[in-house]
């Protein structure tokens, strides 16, 4: 965003109350708190995109057939059984 430009938004009263409480709890003005939230979302989206590209270029592709997913579920269930007995 260009320096000096601002955007005004309207939020429902209940959301405004929550934002004010959370901003105060972190010692921030509501505007700074919302800006922090937006920057965090944008950074998370960038990271997710990077991780997706990394995953696409790592190793041989797998086909998600029904038998593939059945095997994944079976292995997951086995790990859960072993972790619950510990």
Is the model's pLDDT at 73 over the cut of 80? Answer: yes
34 or 85, which is more confident? 34
Nearest to 34 by CA among 5, 3, 2, 8: 8
Nearest to 26 by CA among 6, 48, 35: 35
Is the model's pLDDT at 86 over the cut of 80? Answer: no
Q: Tell me: the pLDDT tens digits for 7-35?
A: 899 999 999 999 999 999 999 999 999 99
Q: What is the pLDDT of residue 83?
A: 84
């Amino acid at each position: 965003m260009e320096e000096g430009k601002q955007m005004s938004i309207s939020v429902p009263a209940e959301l405004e109350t929550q934002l004010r409480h959370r901003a105060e709890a972190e010692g921030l003005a509501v505007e700074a708190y919302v800006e922090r939230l937006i920057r965090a979302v944008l950074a998370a989206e960038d990271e997710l995109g990077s991780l997706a590209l990394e995953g696409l270029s790592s190793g041989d592709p797998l086909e998600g057939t029904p038998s593939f997913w059945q095997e994944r579920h079976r292995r997951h269930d086995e790990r859960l059984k072993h972790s619950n007995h510990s």
